[in-house]
């Protein structure tokens, strides 16, 4: 019976998912009363707001790739073991899972603008503290910045959907590219900053607080001028955590994210072990990350037009994993090709995972809660990816054996993807009650 209802509901989905705006999950959707629509803004104010959101997105990935390209130097100068380095690369990913579920309730209580302001303050603080000569401070700073990024990840799409209903496609494209550009810039520029500006890896890591501080100064007057969120009650969603399809979406999110953060955390060290110098390794990582923009923008539009998403899901997994094996074992002369292919596969996987949350949800309330489930549980699971890469490197003395991990993650993602790609809705519903 439930299966029939789910199939019937799913057949109605495509009509509601033609626009890109339907792919953006609003963290404040469960607020009752609903937040009042934003007051009309002048053209100049909209430009400033749009630029601010893009700049916020630019700062949400630099934490990962800036550390990746300097990881060998960090380990050498601090005496940090491979296990310690594994924990350091794992920590911000773990924060994504731990803090993401808190973002909707914070936004409902304080408003998305002010919650984003608080996240930016923490991001500047956490990123800047990485410049201090202390390993415990480095870990604490990474934890703080990771929590801030988790909140930004959840809130930014909803703000775009709310404030730019007539420019959703454009703004989504811009902030998606900004995410990739920030990661690519950190991968490609951190070493030149170390060599030419700061003279130390600590200063190079801390330097990425500067662009975060700039956007904080731009965002502060906008956030403080926003109206406070009214007190609310909300909806609660029943049946979600017992639903098999919801768990397939969640596990797919986690497994593909594990692959992604293995790349963010360890691709540069892998390339350096294969004989590339630090600057070249950073450049290759930058190329791979920027390539993600192509499929990040293309896959959602393709996915919503397909009867189901099984085929495209498996193809993206295969592309990403095969590319990683090429990076590990193929002749170094071909590594740029494999890096581009990996970017195409990984960018598509990220976009497809987020799109599936909406495609598998019968309404916006369920989508918001499924997003919280998928990101909360999924990122905690994903944290084990970079952890195991480092542990395998420490146990074996080489990155070659990580191939088994990449294949296992890819196989698991493909299996979950087949299930999550079915044209069904999760068997869950929203009912009035406490959020």
Determine the pLDDT at residue 35: 55
Q: What is the pLDDT of residue 21?
A: 53
| Model pLDDT, residue 296 | 79
For residue 234, the SS3 value is strand
Find, among 226, 128, 134, 169, the residue nearest to 24 by Cα: 169
pLDDT recorded at residue 233: 52
* Residue-wise pLDDT tens digits, 303-345: 667 776 677 778 888 999 999 999 999 999 999 999 999 999 9
Q: What pTM value is reported for the model?
A: 0.82
Cα–Cα distance measured from residue 381 to residue 94, given in angstroms and rounded to the nearest whole number: 8
Residue-level pLDDT at 162: 77
**What pLDDT does residue 9 have?**
41
For residue 187, how many C-alpha atoms fall within 13 Å in the half-sphere facing its CB?
29
Structure tokens of 114? Answer: 């002010």
Give the tens place of pLDDT for each residue, 72-95.
889 989 999 888 999 999 999 999
pLDDT score recorded for residue 167: 75
The two structure tokens encoding residue 178 = 């900004």
pLDDT given for residue 358 in this prediction: 76
Neighbours of 318 (CB within 10 A): 13
For position 357, what pLDDT does the model report? 80
171, two tokens? 């703004």
Which domains, and CATH codes, for the chain? 2-433 (1.20.1250.20)
Cα–Cα distance measured from residue 59 to residue 325, given in angstroms and rounded to the nearest whole number: 30
Distance, in Å, from the CA atom of 158 to the CA atom of 155, rounded to the nearest integer, reads 6
Q: SS3 of 344, please? A: helix
CA atoms within 13 A on the CB side of 96: 28
**Per-residue model confidence as pLDDT tens for the chain (435 residues):** 344 334 434 444 443 344 445 556 666 666 555 555 556 567 788 888 889 999 999 999 899 989 989 998 899 899 998 889 999 999 999 998 899 888 888 887 888 899 999 999 999 999 999 999 889 999 999 999 999 999 998 888 878 877 887 776 677 778 878 888 898 899 889 999 998 888 899 999 999 999 999 999 999 998 988 765 544 556 677 888 899 999 999 998 899 899 989 988 899 999 999 999 989 999 999 999 888 888 877 877 776 677 766 777 788 889 999 999 999 999 999 999 999 999 999 888 887 777 778 788 887 678 778 888 888 898 999 999 999 999 999 999 999 999 999 999 999 988 887 787 777 888 877 776 654
- The predicted pLDDT at position 6 comes to 46
* DSSP string covering 285-332: HHHHHHHHHHHHHHHHHHHTTSS-SHHHHHHHHHHHHHHHHHHHHS-G
């Amino acid at each position: 019976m439930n299966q029939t209802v789910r199939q019937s509901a799913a057949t109605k989905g495509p009509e509601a998912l033609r626009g890109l705006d339907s792919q953006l999950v609003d963290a404040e959707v469960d607020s009752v009363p609903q937040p009042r629509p934003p007051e009309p803004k002048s053209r100049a104010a909209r430009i400033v707001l749009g630029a601010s959101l893009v700049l916020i997105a630019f700062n949400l990935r630099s934490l990962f790739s800036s550390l990746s390209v300097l990881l060998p130097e960090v380990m050498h100068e601090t005496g940090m073991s491979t296990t310690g380095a594994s924990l350091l690369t794992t920590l911000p990913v773990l924060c994504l899972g731990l803090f993401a579920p808190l973002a909707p309730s914070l936004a409902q209580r304080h408003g998305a603008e002010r919650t984003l302001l608080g996240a930016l303050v923490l991001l500047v603080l956490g990123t800047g503290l990485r410049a201090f000569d202390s390993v415990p401070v480095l870990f604490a700073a990474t934890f703080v910045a990771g929590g801030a990024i988790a909140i930004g990840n959840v809130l930014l799409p909803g703000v775009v959907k709310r404030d730019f209903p007539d420019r959703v496609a454009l703004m989504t494209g811009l902030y998606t590219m900004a995410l990739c550009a920030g990661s690519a810039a950190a991968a490609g520029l951190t070493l030149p900053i170390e060599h030419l500006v700061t003279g130390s890896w600590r200063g190079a890591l801390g330097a990425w607080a500067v662009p975060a501080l700039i956007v904080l100064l731009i965002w502060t007057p906008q956030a403080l001028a926003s109206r406070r969120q009214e007190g609310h009650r909300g909806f609660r969603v029943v049946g979600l955590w017992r639903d098999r399809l919801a768990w397939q979406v969640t596990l797919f999110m986690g497994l593909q994210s594990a692959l992604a953060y293995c790349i963010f955390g360890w691709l540069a060290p892998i390339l350096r072990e294969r004989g590339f110098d630090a600057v070249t390794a950073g450049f290759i990582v930058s190329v791979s990350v920027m390539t993600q923009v192509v499929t990040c923008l293309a896959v959602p539009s393709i996915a919503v037009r397909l009867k189901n998403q099984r085929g495209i899901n498996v193809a993206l997994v295969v592309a990403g994993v095969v590319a990683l094996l090429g990076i590990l074992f193929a002749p170094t002369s071909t590594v740029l090709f494999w890096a581009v292919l990996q970017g195409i596969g990984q960018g598509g996987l990220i976009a497809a995972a987020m799109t599936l949350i909406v495609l598998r949800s019968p309404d916006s309330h369920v989508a918001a809660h499924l997003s919280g489930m998928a990101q909360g549980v999924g990122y905690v699971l994903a944290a084990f990816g970079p952890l195991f890469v480092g542990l395998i490197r420490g146990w074996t003395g080489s990155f070659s054996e990580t191939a088994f991990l990449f294949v296992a993650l890819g196989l698991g993602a493909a299996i979950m993807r087949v299930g999550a790609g079915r044209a069904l809705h999760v068997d869950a519903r929203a009912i009035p009650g406490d959020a």
